[in-house]
Structure 1
Amino acid sequence: MLIENKTNIIDDLQSFRGVAAIVVLIHHCTFYFSNSYNFKFLSEIFFNAHAAVVAFYVLSGYVLTLSLMKNELRLKSILSFYLKRCFRIYPLLWLACIIGFFYLLIFKGVPTSDLVSDWWNKNYRDDNISFFKVFLGFLGFGHELPLPIWSISLELVGSLLIPLFVLLLRRKILFFNLFLFLLLILTIYAKNIYFIYIFFFILGSSIVLWEEVFEKMKNIKFILYLSLFFLIFGRQLGGWNYLEYYHNSFAALIEGFAAAIVIAIIVSGRIKSKLLKSKKTILLGDISYSVYLLHLPIMAFVAEVLEYFSRINIIPSNTYILTLFLLMITIFLTLFLSYFTYNKIEKYGIQIGKFFSNKLIKHRSL
């Protein structure tokens, strides 16, 4: 593929990331209140948040590999890569952690009603606040705050390994394939979430080896639709529901390979999608990191207000109506705040990261 085409491809991938972020937001909003099993089951089917997260990992593996392969891989360039990743991830993470921490402080000891699901109470309303775990959250490794930090921690670990993947891709393809196979085995048999999901970063990296296959492949639309089917509905084929099998390895593998094929097809440039080419969808992709991090604490505050209004009979105490209100308000506030944080925090973080990385590259002692 010609290098000059990569810019348009990256725009398409940004749009794909943006759609995935909205899927996660919608899914979480439908799970907050104690809706019926059938309602949650439909949400699992049509708004598969887990598949979206796995797709994030595959996409990160590919895009980060692509960026590193542009330059010679030396100690300076690796340290520069890590520096830029830190300034890309942490500034917004710290803001989200602050919002989440205030949520915990404000509502500490305030009981939720029967309208709120066990999913929220068990995962995000622990009244025994551990400041050490909150501190870990600011580092990207805690689980006390109402944020998807578990996935951010995997993004950090995956970013650490990307230079190794690129080094193997450039010099030892055989070792790269062996490493890919070993990580695949770990995904199947391991219980630790890091061993389950790290494979998807190297799977994303491997797309650079076989992306050209899709430039010549026949029946590309059929393959795309089939891959999208497995990406969205694949876990349902094995009955791996969210409550019992959220981190199921086989469900994740189905979603991961499907995501990799979808990304490879997008990269091939053979599919022209108005949705992915839309300026609004590309913008959604630009702010997708903000959307992903901020939607949970925003949703938490909105839900508390809605729950209060239901108690004083301003709005009906119907979980379906509450879910609809929660979804609409959370989407509006999240998109509004995400646009602001992208322009005022993310962009500056990226610029500062580039500034210091350039200083590092020019430093003679490394």
Structure 2
Amino acid sequence: MSYSYRVEALDWQRGLLALSIMIYHLMFWHGETTTASSVIGRLGIYAVSMFFVLSGLSMAIAHERYELTIKSSIQFYIRRIFRIWPLLWLAIFAVTAKSLLLKNEDISIYKILLNLTTAFGFIEPSAYLNTGAWSIGNEMVYYALTPIILVIYRRSVTGGNILALASIAIGGVYALNLLTPAQPLELQWNTYIHPLNNLFFYVMGVAIYYNAKHLKPQLALPAACIFLSACIFAIFPSGSDNSSIVTSLNRLVFSSASVLMVFGFFKITPILSKTLSSPLERLGIITYGVYLLHPIVNSAVTMLFARLDWQLGAPTRILIISLATIAVANIAYELIEKPMIRLGKKLA
């Protein structure tokens, strides 16, 4: 059975999620309101969660026939490293250079090494240097676990689902006990970004594949799932602080909506015209660059605006920076990501 159509639809979702995260950050940085009671505020948090689900699903699709051996494990890790590290190193270099220019003493050699090797995800999740890079640290932890997760699911879907339930239970401990809606999320940020708190999203991505891979693509059910998820993100009541949507019952509601959304895109029959689908698919392909580079592009363009003394409104600044980010991400993909992905495959 071919899954090309599903990959296409998932690329659409990746592209839309990357846009939402970038706009969320840019709105915040440029003085626009982004509370947890707004759609963009919620996507600013849960778009990253959906990326974890998409990542688990993508790994299951790409490695369905995975056999746990030393050779296959080394090949898997080589490919992931060559996919993640090269662009991350560029981003780390940019942030480090800026820090040195501003004489920021918060960056140490130890911290740089943790980031270059993505070891911070295993050792100190809060030691990331680049905005949003905490999720990359989480991903590297999940990649380390992926061979075991895939083998469990391949041998027994029931066994895999038990593993998924266990990961959900761990997430429940965070939502109900370790995190609280009584405090702002920034005061609990180090707890929130721990890999164990978000592990269930990744495992649920693998679960979606193994439990639904035999379902034929259709329009009605997946579209209903996407619509229901969108309604939850749009109208489900919550407080204004981000802690209100990542704790207690709201954590269950928005997490379920995130998983349901990914399932919908996974199984939907593509109905978009080539005019609409091509840009979304391309945006999905360059998602990593958009996600990782938009803070750097924002800093550079904002400094340029200041130097030129351009007095632009926030919407105009956000639009220009967004377009610049997409352009830079395209260049980075062609010059850095694509060659390194090919090299990783060749070495593996």
Q: Same fold (TM over 0.5)?
A: yes
Change (3 A) 1:275 1:27: farther
Question: Alignment partner for residue 53 of structure 2, among 23, 48, 58?
Answer: 58
162-171 or 184-193, which deviates more: 184-193
Q: For residue 118 of structure 1, what is the aligned residue in structure 2?
A: none
- CA contact under 8 A between 2:222 and 2:268: conserved in structure 1? no
> Cα deviations across residues 39-78 of structure 1 (Å, max 9, x unaligned)?
2238942352211101100000001011111344433222
For structure 2, which runs of at least 5 residues remain unmatched after alignment? 121-125, 179-190
Establish whether residue 306 from structure 1 lines up as the match of residue 301 from structure 2.
Answer: no
What are the superposed Cα offsets for residues 136-185 of structure 1, whole Å, 9 maximum, x if unpaired? Answer: 22223364534311010011111111211111111133332222111111
Structure 1 unaligned residues grouped into runs of 5+: 109-125, 358-366
1:34 Cα shift? Answer: 3.9
CA contact (8 A) 2:66 2:150 kept: no
Structure 2 counterpart of 1:40, which letter? T
Who is 1:45 aligned against? 39
2:336 is aligned, of 333, 336, 345, to 345
The match for 1:162 is 146
Task: Choose from 84, 94, 101 the match for 1:99.
Answer: 94
CA RMSD of aligned residues (A): 2.7
Alignment of 1:1-366 (within 5 A): 3-4=1-2, 6-35=3-32, 39-41=33-35, 44-46=38-40, 48-108=43-103, 128-140=106-118, 141=120, 143=127, 145-190=129-174, 191=178, 192=191, 193-211=194-212, 212=214, 215=217, 220-230=222-232, 232-233=233-234, 237-239=237-239, 241-242=241-242, 244-245=243-244, 248=247, 251-270=250-269, 272-274=271-273, 278-307=277-306, 314-316=309-311, 321-357=312-348
Deviations 1:103-122 (A, max 9, x none): 222233xxxxxxxxxxxxxx
Letter in 2 for 1:353: G
CA deviation string 1:199-242 (max 9, x = no partner): 11110000123324575896553332012223x347x6232623
Query: How far 1:33 moved relative to its partner?
Result: 3.3
Shift of 1:269: 3.5
Further displaced range: 76-85 or 143-152: 143-152
Name the CA shift for 1:296/1:206 in 2 (closer, same or farther; >3 Å).
same
Shift of residue 337 of structure 1? Answer: 1.2
Match in the other structure for 2:123: none
Offset of 1:307 from its aligned partner?
Answer: 4.7
Q: CA deviation at 1:93?
A: 0.5
Classify 1:237/1:267 alpha carbon distance in 2 versus 1 (closer, same or farther; 3 Å): same
Residue range with higher mean Cα deviation, 219-228 or 200-209: 219-228
251 and 307 in structure 1: CA distance in 2 versus 1, 3 angstrom threshold: farther
Deviation at 1:273, TM superposition (A): 3.6
What TM-score, normalized by structure 1, do the two folds share?
0.79
Q: 1:189 to 1:71 in 2, by over 3 A?
A: closer
How far apart, CA to CA, are the structure 1 residues paired with 2:149 and 2:274?
A: 32
Confirm or deny: 8 A CA contact 1:129 1:144 kept in the other structure.
no
Question: Relative to structure 1, is the Cα distance of residues 294 and 175 closer, same or farther in structure 2, using a 3 angstrom cutoff?
Answer: same
Counterparts of 2:62 and 2:260 in 1: how far apart (Å)? 20
Q: Using the alignment, how far apart are the partners of 1:144 and 1:194 within structure 2?
A: 13
When residues 255 and 246 of structure 1 are mapped into structure 2, their CA distance, relative to the original with a 3 A threshold, is: closer
Distance 1:340 1:166, change over 3 A: same
Percentage identity across aligned positions? 24
Q: Is 2:238–2:244's contact at 8 Å kept on the other side of the alignment? A: no
TM-score, reference length from structure 2: 0.83
- Is the deviation greater in 58-67 or in 267-276? 267-276
What secondary structure sits across from 2:19 in the alignment? helix
Q: Taking structure 1 as reference, are residues 220 and 200 closer, same or farther at Cα in structure 2, changes over 3 Å only?
A: closer
2: distance between equivalents of 1:187 and 1:154? 14
Contact 1:65/1:205 (CA < 8 Å) preserved in 2?
A: yes
* Cα distance in 1, alignment partners of residues 201 and 275 from structure 2: 23
Distance 1:166 1:156 in 2: 16
Residue aligned with 1:278, SS: helix
Distance in 2, matches of 1:282 and 1:49, equals 21
User: Larger radius of gyration, structure 1 or 2?
Assistant: 1
User: What amino acid is aligned across from residue 91 of structure 1 in structure 2?
Assistant: P
Count how many residue pairs are aligned between Structure 1 and Structure 2: 323
1: distance between equivalents of 2:154 and 2:240?
38
Distance 1:333 1:50, change over 3 A: same
Give the direction of change, closer, same or farther, for the CA distance of 1:46–1:34 in structure 2 (3 Å limit).
closer
